[in-house]
């Protein structure tokens, strides 16, 4: 590390600059708590640098309209090469003063704000100590600004088109929300039809059945949506605004290359395999079914019959199959099981329906009323501590520890919603991490649930986690909103400027940094035997900085020299 | 661009802020109207948010800053919408900006004016757990960090006495006691209602002792008690006795039966409270009294499992509606029927009630002004076409967040972005098509 520092510090000798240092009085907030005249006098006399001219001044309120005009005029008339502002928190006014620089010829990255209010005058009562600290801070700031370099924004052209992977209800809704005269959507579905799981469901929430059929028609008719059935995504490279994608036909292995600015992942989910549950044992011939196969019976034949062809006269509905194993609650099964109970009762009004549940999870605002109705209609709800199922024999322990057994004509299981089969493979392809439950991980659980760490890749529907049709569609529209905001046809994108670079001469190509970067911004250039940062993807987080054994990484605007020299001078 | 690209967003909680930022990002002009003097909504009352127990301020402050600094968002704090007329693509809106008496541009938030103010009264934002002055910010860390004068209680403004103390103490000449309400009229193409929700009125449940027994707390009171910028600076001490509680019962589902729905967040915040309590008072015994655990979605059960048995003992009751809280010397006694149906007693120092999320007090008024329907529970109703559309009964008016029904932050954000996406999709399509 020392060696690297010296390399960077080499330029120190011939520092030649004219630095403007402006201290804001902030009324009594700064002026009243430190001896500003002393600070100005001491700074003016600094002999830290041979060829650096310092001009130190104070002003009442630099952030005010007249203050900004004053500063702008000062930069112009004095021809500063660098600017330091001693004022408040950068959270308040960093962007204000960068804005002032932008109006002049001074590159905004050759300016620095030093917080002498929140860090000094607001926290130190002793005027002498506050004065001393404010002086040191500004001295450090001057030292840092002298090592800063000009940085320039590099606007990128973007492609507004979007790739949607998965043609279930979420993928279709995303595609329809996004398609337009100036934005094409490529919708890729691996099966030979649109609709996903919802197609097999019967009696969804009022209106939902129609919605799915309508959406399929709309997608098929939309001339701005290009539909690829029986197709999967083979390769993806690129970043927000510019992805290159190769699609491959599952039928004939033919490939198609497309370009898109964003990718929406809507690959849905599958069901927990009840065979993995220790509580269950049954064979093919037993009258034990998953909820989805019963949904299919109702949506196909309109009724649910036993293998013998008879209608069941008693049904056990088993909630939470796989909840313990997966360690999450799918949040929709309680509700759709009550829906199924209703179907069974419609089919045979005298049927005995018993729901075995562990907790009733009724998160949607209509759920509880449906429960009350089901209970009033005679569906029996049994809260259990434990259960084991052999064929259609159900042994259970109630909350009061009483154990019982009961036999049913039919047993219906509500298996947990689990990630779909291709999730891992796709996650790899898109460099999106999976979360603890194996679903795609959002970039932030609360404030950005549809975004991922790969900017430009969004997750919607049950690919994000278990949820119902309405919520899946809301996620889809939220992703569309983000894309409509970020990729505006004809407009350019301005990527982060304070990015990391790899100094080619020092990089040994060990690849340590590749693993550290959660944004997948670093790739290895095998022909040159080094690692390279893709500046359009890098967010300048600095995670990789410490991982390089040869000190080849440099995060612009946060170089070692800049940081060390600031600290050195501040502590002198 | 004409009014087409203008959008009115009512309520600057997490939902309103996220919707505004998205719309502003696509170059729409947003008017964000908030009735309180500060933005941020309920989330900033919580020090940490489930499921990750992430610092709420760290999560929300950058969003608040983005909103305040975004050139396409005009944030109107301490303001109310009085009229919304017209139709999709062409609404006329009347907004009253209430007199704040402190200039948003001149005040720097130094706080020098509070001390001299001779008036002292309960701070409602802090759930009345501490006092404030007539000139005040609701809490430290308020954004915008500019006080407001409560004209009802200010001696000068309510005409009781001559007083000019705050004016004299302000070096920035930011205070103007002659300020008056301002009424403005704007044109917008669409409206998003994101006015949030409230919590169940616990004093209507006499069996739970809230408002009669000082040791019984509402959930927001507990959030503020835990918060390091709150009334006790984060020290959990009991009302009146100022004792540190050694045993605490969190009782679930308060108001669920009355409201006829499960709020889907109270189990989670109850578990969060257990973690908070054990974190600050490691010796405390914490009990969660419950009938059902509702932890929907991929992230929640693992948090529940991490507190179950370690931070809290889970006590199942066969009838959550019949739990009783009564006085027991200096402490409290909780009576409930256990799994076998027999009555059990539990002695504790403190009780926290997991109150249901309910429509905000002025939801009906807002619905009236916005010309939209409420659902059977008093939340703002959506079209209910099964697609999860955020459109209300009035074309061009959308709803998002807990104004539509109880939900967590994640779902509030999704609805906000979904509504903003719909506004961009429908409104622009509508107008370019006509
Ligand atoms: C038994 C059961 C009952 C339910 N009942 C209800 C109910 O009553 N009401 C309700 O609202 N919700 C209900 N749900 C939930 C509902 O099914 C889901 O919310 C909905 O299907 C999610 O839609 P989606 O588009 O995210 O996923 P899916 O419907 O799973 O669609 C995903 C699509 O992506 C495709 N795909 C997968 N991988 C790839 C790949 N690698 N490349 C290309 N394409 C791919 C799949 O073929 C599929 O077409 C129920 C779920 C189950 C299991
Ligand atoms: C005790 C408690 C703890 C919680 N903890 C968590 C947690 O840890 N994690 C989590 O995910 N969720 C939690 N929640 C839920 C979370 O608070 C909500 O999901 C979230 O606050 C909803 O945001 P919102 O924007 O819809 O509403 P709000 O946060 O309520 O914001 C609404 C805003 O609108 C304003 N407003 C209201 N009426 C008007 C009007 N007429 N005109 C103008 N403005 C108006 C309000 O002043 C407010 O600023 C908790 C809830 C409670 C009650
Ligand atoms: S700075 Fe962060 S985003 Fe950039 S390459 Fe390094 S780890 Fe990746
Ligand atoms: S009104 Fe004046 S004294 Fe009060 S916080 Fe603002 S600037 Fe400070
Ligand atoms: S004028 Fe009003 S707000 Fe100001 S100090 Fe006096 S009472 Fe307080
Ligand atoms: S979330 Fe939990 S505490 Fe709240 S109403 Fe539902 S079951 Fe009761």
- pLDDT per residue over A134-178, tens digit each? 999 999 999 999 999 999 998 999 999 999 999 999 999 999 999
Distances (CA, A) of A20 to A53, A84, A91, A137, B279: 9, 6, 21, 15, 49
pLDDT at A3: 39
pLDDT at A62: 92
Cβ of A477 within 8 Å of Cβ of B26? The answer is no
* Whether B381 contacts chain A with CB within 8 A: no
Residue B55 pLDDT > 60, yes or no? yes
Mean pLDDT on A388-407:
96
Confidence of residue B4 (pLDDT cuts 50, 70, 90): low
Give the residue ranges of DSSP H helices in B26-136. 56-69
3-class secondary structure, A351: coil
A540 CA → ligand 3 middle, Å: 5
pLDDT tens track for A375-385: 999 999 999 99
Q: Is B266 in the pocket of ligand 6 (CB under 6 A)?
A: yes
Where does B232-328 show beta strands of DSSP type E?
247-254, 285-290, 313-316, 324-328
Cβ of A477 within 8 Å of Cβ of B425? The answer is yes
- The residue to mutate among B94, B195, B200, B303, having the most atoms of ligand 2 within 8 angstroms of its beta carbon, is B195
Where does A358-493 show beta strands of DSSP type E?
380-390, 393-398, 403-407, 410-415, 417-419, 457-459
Which residues are near ligand 5 (CB < 6 Å)? B 116-119, 134-135, 149, 154-156, 163-166
Nearest CA to ligand 6 atom 2: B267
Confidence of residue A200 (pLDDT cuts 50, 70, 90): confident
Mean pLDDT on A303-332:
96
pLDDT tens track for B203-262: 999 999 999 999 999 999 999 999 999 999 999 999 999 999 999 999 999 999 999 999
Percentage of residues of chain B with pLDDT beyond 90: 92
pLDDT at A572: 85
Residue A564 pLDDT > 70, yes or no? yes
Longest dimension (CA), chain B: 72
pLDDT tens track for A50-79: 889 999 999 988 988 889 999 999 999 999
Nearest CA to ligand 3 atom 8: A517
**Across the interface, which of B49, B260, B424 has its CB nearest the CB of A369?**
B260
pLDDT at B385: 82
Q: Which of A43-57, B78-92, B128-142 has the lowest mean pLDDT?
A: A43-57
Domain ranges of chain B: 6-98+181-196+360-433, 99-179, 200-356
Chain B nearest-CA distance from A231, in A, is 27
Average pLDDT, chain A: 93
pLDDT tens track for A458-509: 999 999 999 999 999 999 999 999 999 999 999 999 889 999 999 999 999 9
CA–CA separation, B228 and B207 (whole Å): 32
Mean pLDDT on B361-376:
97
Place of tokens 């659980």: A445
pLDDT tens track for A182-199: 999 999 999 999 999 998
Confidence of residue A9 (pLDDT cuts 50, 70, 90): very low
Helices (H) and strands (E) counted in chain B, each on its own, are 10, 24
pLDDT at A208: 66
Answer whether B314's CB lies under 8 Å from B308's CB: yes
CB < 8 Å to B293, chain A: 359, 361
Answer whether B35's CB lies under 8 Å from B50's CB: no
Q: What is the ipTM of this complex?
A: 0.94
State the Cα angle at A244 between A239 and A249, rounded to 5°: 135
Tokens in use for A2?
């020392």
Tokens in use for A471?
């919520």
Average pLDDT, chain B: 95
Q: What is the CA radius of gyration of chain A?
A: 32
Residue A211 pLDDT > 60, yes or no? yes
pLDDT at A304: 94
3-class secondary structure, A47: coil
Crossing angle for the helix pair A208-221 and A469-486, to the nearest 10 degrees? 40
**pTM across the whole model:** 0.91
pLDDT at A210: 81
pLDDT at B178: 96
pLDDT at A417: 98
pLDDT at A206: 57
Place of tokens 């690849």: A511
CB < 8 Å to B260, chain A: 368-369, 372
pLDDT at B405: 97
Residue A257 pLDDT > 50, yes or no? yes
Confidence of residue A553 (pLDDT cuts 50, 70, 90): very high
Helices (H) and strands (E) counted in chain A, each on its own, are 16, 26
CATH of span B99-179: 3.30.70
Percentage of residues of chain B with pLDDT beyond 70: 97
CB < 8 Å to B72, chain A: none
Place of tokens 């929709």: A332
Indicate left, alpha or beta for B48 from its phi (over 0: left) and psi (-120 to 50: alpha): beta
Domains parsed from chain A with CATH numbers: 17-151 (3.40.50), 162-268+420-486 (3.50.50.60), 272-416 (3.50.50.60), 500-556 (3.30.70.20)
Is the bond leading into B144 cis (omega within 30 degrees of zero)? yes
Answer whether A357's CB lies under 8 Å from A319's CB: yes
Q: What are phi and psi of A156, to 5 degrees?
A: -110, 140
pLDDT at A207: 58
State the Cα angle at A178 between A174 and A179, rounded to 5°: 115
Residue B92 pLDDT > 70, yes or no? yes
Where does B150-254 show beta strands of DSSP type E?
182-188, 190-193, 197-199, 216-217, 247-254
Q: In the sheet where B285-290 sits, what is the strand order?
A: B216-217, B350-355, B247-254, B285-290, B313-316
pLDDT at B426: 77
Question: Does B200-356 match B6-98+181-196+360-433 at the fold level?
Answer: yes
Find, in chain B, the residue whose alpha carbon is nearest to that of A94: B69
Cβ of B409 within 8 Å of Cβ of A447? The answer is yes
pLDDT tens track for B402-419: 999 999 999 999 999 999
pLDDT at B434: 36
* From the candidate CATH numbers 3.40.50.2300, 3.50.50.60, 3.40.50.620, 3.40.50.300, the one assigned to the domain spanning B6-98+181-196+360-433: 3.50.50.60
A164 CA → ligand 1 middle, Å: 15
Q: What is the CA radius of gyration of chain B?
A: 23
Beta bridge partners, B8, equal B31, B191
Confidence of residue A2 (pLDDT cuts 50, 70, 90): very low
Can you tell me which atom of ligand 3 is nearest the CA of A520? 8
Answer whether B286's CB lies under 8 Å from B274's CB: yes
pLDDT at B384: 84
Mean pLDDT on A93-115:
95
CATH of span B200-356: 3.50.50.60
Nearest CA to ligand 2 atom 39: B195
pLDDT at B2: 41
Report DSSP state, residue B47.
S
* Whether B374 contacts chain A with CB within 8 A: no
Q: Is A536 in the pocket of ligand 3 (CB under 6 A)?
A: no
- For residue B138, which of B125, B152, B148, B154 has the smallest C-alpha distance? B125
Residue A1 pLDDT > 70, yes or no? no
Mean pLDDT on A400-429:
96
Residue A510 pLDDT > 80, yes or no? yes
Find, in chain A, the residue whose alpha carbon is nearest to that of B389: A474
Confidence of residue B362 (pLDDT cuts 50, 70, 90): very high
CB < 8 Å to B70, chain A: none
pLDDT tens track for B115-128: 999 999 999 999 99
User: Which helix (H) or strand (E) segment is A95 a member of?
Assistant: helix A90-103
Nearest CA to ligand 4 atom 2: B170
CA–CA separation, A310 and A292 (whole Å): 20
CA–CA separation, A522 and A507 (whole Å): 13
pLDDT at B430: 52
pLDDT at B433: 40
Cβ of B410 within 8 Å of Cβ of A446? The answer is yes
Confidence of residue A404 (pLDDT cuts 50, 70, 90): very high
Mean pLDDT on B342-350:
97
**Across the interface, which of A329, A466, A485 has its CB nearest the CB of B25?**
A485
Residue B399 pLDDT > 60, yes or no? yes
CB < 8 Å to A399, chain B: 316, 318, 339
Residues with Cβ within 8 Å of B233's Cβ and at least 6 positions away in sequence, in order, are none
Confidence of residue A366 (pLDDT cuts 50, 70, 90): confident
Percentage of residues of chain A with pLDDT beyond 70: 96
């Amino acid at each position: 590390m020392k060696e690297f520092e010296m390399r960077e510090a080499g330029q120190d000798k011939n520092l030649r600059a004219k630095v403007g240092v402006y201290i804001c009085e902030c009324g009594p907030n700064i002026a009243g708590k430190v001896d500003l005249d002393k600070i100005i006098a001491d700074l003016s006399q600094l002999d830290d640098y041979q060829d650096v001219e310092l001009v130190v001044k104070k002003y009442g309120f630099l952030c005010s309209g007249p203050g900004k005009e004053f500063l702008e005029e000062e930069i112009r008339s004095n021809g500063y090469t660098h600017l330091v502002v001693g004022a408040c928190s950068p959270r308040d006014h960093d962007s204000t003063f960068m804005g002032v620089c932008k109006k002049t010829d001074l590159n905004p990255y050759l300016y620095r704000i030093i917080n002498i209010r929140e860090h000094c005058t607001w926290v130190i009562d002793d005027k002498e100590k506050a004065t001393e600290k404010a002086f040191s801070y500004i001295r450090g700031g001057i030292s840092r600004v002298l090592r800063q370099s000009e940085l320039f924004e590099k606007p990128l052209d973007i492609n507004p088109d979007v790739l949607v992977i998965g043609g279930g209800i979420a993928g279709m809704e995303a595609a329809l929300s996004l398609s337009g005269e100036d934005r094409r959507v490529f919708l890729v579905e691996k099966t030979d039809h649109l609709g996903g799981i919802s197609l097999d469901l019967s009696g969804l929430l009022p209106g939902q059945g129609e919605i799915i059929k309508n959406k399929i028609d709309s997608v098929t008719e939309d001339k701005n949506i290009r539909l690829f059935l029986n197709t999967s995504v083979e390769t993806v490279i690129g970043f927000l605004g510019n992805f290159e994608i190769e699609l491959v036909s599952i039928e004939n292995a033919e490939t198609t290359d497309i370009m898109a600015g964003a990718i929406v992942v809507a690959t849905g989910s599958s069901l927990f395999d009840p065979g993995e549950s220790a509580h269950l044992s049954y064979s093919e011939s037993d009258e034990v079914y998953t909820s989805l196969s019963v949904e299919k019976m109702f949506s196909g034949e309109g009724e649910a019959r036993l293998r013998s062809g008879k209608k069941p006269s008693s049904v056990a509905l088993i909630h939470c199959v796989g909840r313990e194993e997966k360690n999450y609650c799918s949040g929709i099964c309680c509700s759709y099981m009550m829906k199924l109970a209703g179907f069974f009762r419609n089919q045979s009004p005298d049927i005995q329906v018993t729901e075995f549940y562990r907790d009733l999870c009724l998160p949607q605002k209509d759920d509880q009323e449906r429960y009350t109705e089901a209970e009033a209609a005679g569906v029996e709800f049994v809260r259990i501590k434990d259960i084991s199922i052999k064929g259609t024999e159900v042994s259970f322990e109630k909350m009061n520890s009483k154990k019982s057994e009961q036999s049913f004509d039919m047993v219906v299981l509500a298996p947990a919603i689990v990630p779909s089969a291709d999730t891992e493979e796709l996650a790899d392809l898109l460099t999106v991490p999976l979360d603890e439950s194996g679903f795609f991980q959002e970039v932030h659980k609360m404030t950005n649930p549809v975004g991922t760490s790969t900017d430009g890749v969004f997750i919607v529907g049950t690919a994000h986690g278990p949820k119902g049709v309405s919520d899946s569609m809301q996620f889809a529209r939220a992703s569309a909103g983000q894309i409509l905001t970020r990729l505006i046809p004809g407009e350019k994108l301005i990527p982060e400027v304070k990015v990391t670079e790899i100094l080619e001469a020092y990089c040994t190509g060990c690849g340590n940094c590749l693993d550290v970067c959660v944004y997948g911004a670093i790739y290895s250039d095998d022909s040159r035997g080094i690692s390279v940062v893709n500046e359009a993807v890098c967010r300048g987080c600095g995670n990789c900085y410490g991982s390089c054994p040869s000190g080849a990484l440099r995060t612009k605007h946060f170089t070692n020299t800049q940081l060390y020299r600031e600290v050195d001078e501040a502590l002198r | 661009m004409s009014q087409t690209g203008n959008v009115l967003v009512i309520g600057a909680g997490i939902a309103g802020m996220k919707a505004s930022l998205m719309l502003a990002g696509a170059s729409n002009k947003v008017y964000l109207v908030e009735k309180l003097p500060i933005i941020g909504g309920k989330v900033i009352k919580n020090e940490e948010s489930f499921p990750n127990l992430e610092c709420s301020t760290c999560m929300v402050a950058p969003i608040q800053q983005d909103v305040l600094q975004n050139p396409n968002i005009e944030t109107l704090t301490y303001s109310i919408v009085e009229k919304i007329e017209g139709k999709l693509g062409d609404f006329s809106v009347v907004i009253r900006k209430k007199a704040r008496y402190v200039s948003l541009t001149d005040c720097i938030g130094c706080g020098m004016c509070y001390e001299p103010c001779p008036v002292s009264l309960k701070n409602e934002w802090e759930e009345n757990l501490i006092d404030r002055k007539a000139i005040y910010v609701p809490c430290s860390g308020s954004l915008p960090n500019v006080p407001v004068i409560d004209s009802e209680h200010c001696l000068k403004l309510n005409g009781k006495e001559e007083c000019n103390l705050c004016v004299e103490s302000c070096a920035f000449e930011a205070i103007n006691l002659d300020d008056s309400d301002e009424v403005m009229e704007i044109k917008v193409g669409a409206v998003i209602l994101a006015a949030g929700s409230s919590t169940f009125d616990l004093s209507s449940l006499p069996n739970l002792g809230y408002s009669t027994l000082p040791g019984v707390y509402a959930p927001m009171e507990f959030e503020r008690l835990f918060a390091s910028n709150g009334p006790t600076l984060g020290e959990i001490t009991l009302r009146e006795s100022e004792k540190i509680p050694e045993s605490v019962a969190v009782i679930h589902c308060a108001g669920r039966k009355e409201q006829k729905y499960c709020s889907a967040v109270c189990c989670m915040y109850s578990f969060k409270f257990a973690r908070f309590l054990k974190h600050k008072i490691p010796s405390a015994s914490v009990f969660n009294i419950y009938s059902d655990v509702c932890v929907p979605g991929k992230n929640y059960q693992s948090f529940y499992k991490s507190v179950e048995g370690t931070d809290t003992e889970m006590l199942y009751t066969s009838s959550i509606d019949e739990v009783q809280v009564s006085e027991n010397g200096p402490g409290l006694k909780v009576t409930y029927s256990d799994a076998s149906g027999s009555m059990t007693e539990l002695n504790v120092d403190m009780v926290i009630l997991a109150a249901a999320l309910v429509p905000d007090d002025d939801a009906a008024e807002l619905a009236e002004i916005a010309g939209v329907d409420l659902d059977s529970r008093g939340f703002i109703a959506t079209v209910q076409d099964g697609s999860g559309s955020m459109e209300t009964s009035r074309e061009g008016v959308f709803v998002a967040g807990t104004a539509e029904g109880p939900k967590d932050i994640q779902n509030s954000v999704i609805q906000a972005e979904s509504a903003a996406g719909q506004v961009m999709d429908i409104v622009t399509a509508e107008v370019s098509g006509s």
